[in-house]
């Protein structure tokens, strides 16, 4: 397995094992990036491209276009906007009125926003699992040759056993090839 190709090339196909390795690398890198101020944000932006490469190649292995990867992004963006509107509405509702902050209104709006953001997270989990369990095309497709199990594990593809050529008894083959009698 070539990690550089897995993470940075959008071309070709990858099997399930390589996909899950790529997903784990993306998750781990995002966790680490969250602890690094400013630079971590830049790393997270770069990981979007890595995600496109990993998810896209897995989708290619199933004969699907990588553009499907735009669907959970679109859902997350829409849900993020809804969540931000809910938070803003909660703050506005809490601040309006008698001059005191209405904590009940703030909590109600924030809870709704939390549910919306959680839904986005669940969409990503479902999408990641769906892509991971899809069966790849057995033969070549428009995105390339199939991924062999041995090649995905880092070794060569298993060789097909070949039958030894049959020897002709008339040409002096081995004794076990000659008729008894």
Q: 87, 79 in Cβ contact below 8 A?
A: no
pLDDT value, residue 98? 67
Our measurement of the distance from residue 33's CA atom to the centroid of its chain's CA atoms, rounded to an integer in Å, reads: 19
Higher pLDDT, 134 or 89: 134
Q: Which band of pLDDT confidence, cut at 50, 70 and 90, is reported for residue 106? A: confident
pLDDT value, residue 172? 52
For residues 148-168, give the mean pLDDT.
48
| pTM for the model | 0.74
Burial degree of 86 (CB within 10 A; 0-12, 13-18, 19+)? buried
Collect contacts of 68-71 with beta carbons under 8 A, ≥24 apart: 71/127
* Residue 62 token pair: 């199933």
* Residue 114 token pair: 């939390």
User: Which sequence spans correspond to the domains of the chain?
Assistant: 1-64, 66-136
DSSP 134: P
Q: 159, 165 in Cβ contact below 8 A?
A: no
Q: Which band of pLDDT confidence, cut at 50, 70 and 90, is reported for residue 180? A: low
């Amino acid at each position: 397995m070539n990690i550089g190709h897995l993470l940075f090339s959008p071309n070709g196909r990858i099997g399930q094992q390589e996909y899950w390795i790529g997903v784990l690398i993306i998750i781990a890198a995002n966790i680490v990036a969250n602890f690094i101020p400013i630079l971590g944000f830049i790393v997270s932006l770069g990981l979007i491209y890595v995600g496109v490469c990993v998810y896209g190649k897995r989708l290619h292995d199933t004969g699907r276009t990588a553009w499907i990867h735009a669907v959970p992004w679109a859902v997350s963006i829409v849900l993020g906007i809804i969540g931000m509107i809910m938070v803003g509405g909660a703050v506005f509702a809490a601040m309006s009125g008698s001059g005191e902050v209405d904590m009940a209104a703030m909590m109600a709006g924030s809870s709704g926003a939390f549910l919306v953001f959680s839904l986005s997270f669940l969409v990503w989990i479902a999408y990641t699992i769906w892509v991971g369990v899809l069966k790849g095309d057995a033969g070549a497709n428009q995105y390339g040759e199939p991924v062999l199990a041995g090649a995905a594990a880092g070794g060569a593809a298993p060789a097909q056993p070949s039958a030894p050529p049959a020897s002709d008894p008339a040409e002096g083959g081995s004794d076990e090839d000659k008729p008894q009698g």
